[in-house]
């Protein structure tokens, strides 16, 4: 949107109406996590473990936040002063989307390009099929007996339909592509296609069939977002007689508000209100050793 329209929308409508609700759910998140952001806690643990994989001191691992602290500007300024030969930019979003990984990459490159001396820069824009990442999710699942659940959900963060449509040229749309069944040269950067592909990899390793699960999308802002909507699927499952749901959230490599509160709390409430009993969240990869194996592999490939 033009800057004026964007400013009016954000400051005049979105912030006044969403801020009180956001503050409430963030307070709830911090209450259950001991007053510390779980996103920060898990990220710091992952950084520490990844750093330990490079004991010779040839590589230093930093982490930065796109919209919070430690801010990317401050972290990259510190890295500039270190005079590194090579910087690897690795956004923690397994499935590429312009609004997530693309935004982080864009900011990093915008800051680095202003340096007087620009080192070699490598970018890892997605890793949805990385074996360590997939295996870490499989290992998390071992805490649960799949046969105890009536249905399984794979809930990914939502995106506006127009975001995935922009991946394709001209008048082509995501709905015209086989994004729910395969990844090919045309849709390999389509968020929807890689979400479904991630699900297939996990389902194959767990030995569950397509009828056992549903891929859905959460955190929508309006009806013109990727469907099916996760909250509606939860409600439909309860009304159809399901009593226990197992929910994966593969788009989030670290547990956060969207997993712990939106799925673990809000979806539990929706499920109970419509006759269900338990929505069980499978923990994210967080700092699982297999996830760190995957990150190490990704970084070493670039080096």
What pTM value is reported for the model? 0.93
- Looking at every residue in the chain, the average pLDDT score rounds to 95
Residue 80: the pLDDT is 98
Confidence of residue 130 (pLDDT cuts 50, 70, 90): very high
pLDDT at position 14: 86
Can 3-128+289-302 and 131-281 be said to share one CATH topology? yes
Contact 231, 244 (CB under 8 A): no
For 103-128, how does the pLDDT look when each residue is reduced to its tens digit (9 = 90+)?
A: 999 999 999 999 999 999 999 999 99
Q: Are 50 and 85 in contact (CB under 8 A)?
A: no
Asked if pLDDT for residue 222 goes beyond 90, the answer is: no
Strand partners, 89: 123
CATH 3.90.550.10 fits 3-128+289-302, yes or no: no
Instruction: Quote the distance between the C-alpha of residue 177 and its chain's center.
Output: 23
State mean pLDDT over 68-91: 97
* Token pair 């991630």 in the structure block, residue: 198
For the chain, what is the total number of helices (H) and then of strands (E)?
11, 6
Q: Residue 131: which pLDDT band, with cuts at 50, 70 and 90?
A: very high
> What local confidence, expressed as pLDDT, does residue 99 receive?
94
Domain 131-281 belongs to what topology?
Answer: Rossmann fold (3.40.50)
Residues 232-241: what's their mean pLDDT?
98
Residue 40 has pLDDT above 90, yes or no: yes
What distance in Å separates the CA atoms of residue 281 and residue 264, rounded to the nearest whole number? 6
- Provide the pLDDT for residue 191: 98
289 confidence band (pLDDT: 50, 70, 90):
very high
Q: Contact at 8 Å (CB) between 84 and 122? A: no
pLDDT of residue 261: 93
Domain positions in the chain are: 3-128+289-302, 131-281
Q: Does pLDDT of 82 surpass 90?
A: yes
């Amino acid at each position: 949107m033009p800057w004026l329209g964007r400013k009016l929308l954000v400051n005049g409508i979105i912030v006044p109406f969403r801020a009180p609700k956001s503050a409430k759910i963030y307070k709830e998140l911090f209450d259950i996590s001991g007053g510390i952001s779980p996103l920060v806690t898990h990220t710091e643990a992952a950084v520490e473990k990844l750093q330990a994989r490079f004991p010779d001191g040839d590589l230093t691992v930093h982490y930065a936040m796109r919209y919070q602290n430690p801010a990317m500007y401050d972290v990259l300024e510190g890295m500039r002063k270190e005079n590194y030969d090579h910087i690897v930019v690795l956004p923690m979003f397994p499935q590429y989307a312009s609004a997530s990984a693309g935004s982080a990459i864009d900011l990093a490159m915008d800051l680095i390009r202003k340096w007087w001396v620009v080192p070699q820069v490598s970018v890892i824009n997605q890793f949805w099929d990385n074996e360590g990442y997939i295996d870490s999710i499989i290992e998390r699942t071992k805490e649960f007996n799949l046969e105890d659940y009536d249905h399984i959900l794979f809930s990914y963060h939502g995106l506006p339909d127009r975001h995935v449509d922009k991946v394709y040229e001209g008048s082509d749309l995501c709905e015209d592509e086989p994004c729910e069944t395969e990844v090919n040269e045309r849709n390999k950067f389509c968020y929807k296609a890689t979400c479904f592909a991630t699900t297939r990899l996990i389902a194959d390793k767990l030995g569950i069939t397509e009828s056992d699960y549903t891929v859905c999308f959460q955190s929508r802002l309006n009806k013109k977002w990727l469907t099916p909507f996760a909250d509606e699927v939860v409600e439909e499952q309860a009304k159809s007689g399901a009593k226990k749901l197992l929910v994966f959230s593969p788009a989030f490599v670290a547990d956060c508000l969207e997993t712990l509160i939106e799925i673990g709390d809000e979806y539990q409430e929706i499920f109970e209100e419509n006759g269900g009993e338990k929505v069980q969240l499978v923990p994210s990869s967080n700092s699982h050793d297999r996830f760190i194996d995957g990150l190490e592999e990704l970084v070493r490939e670039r080096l």
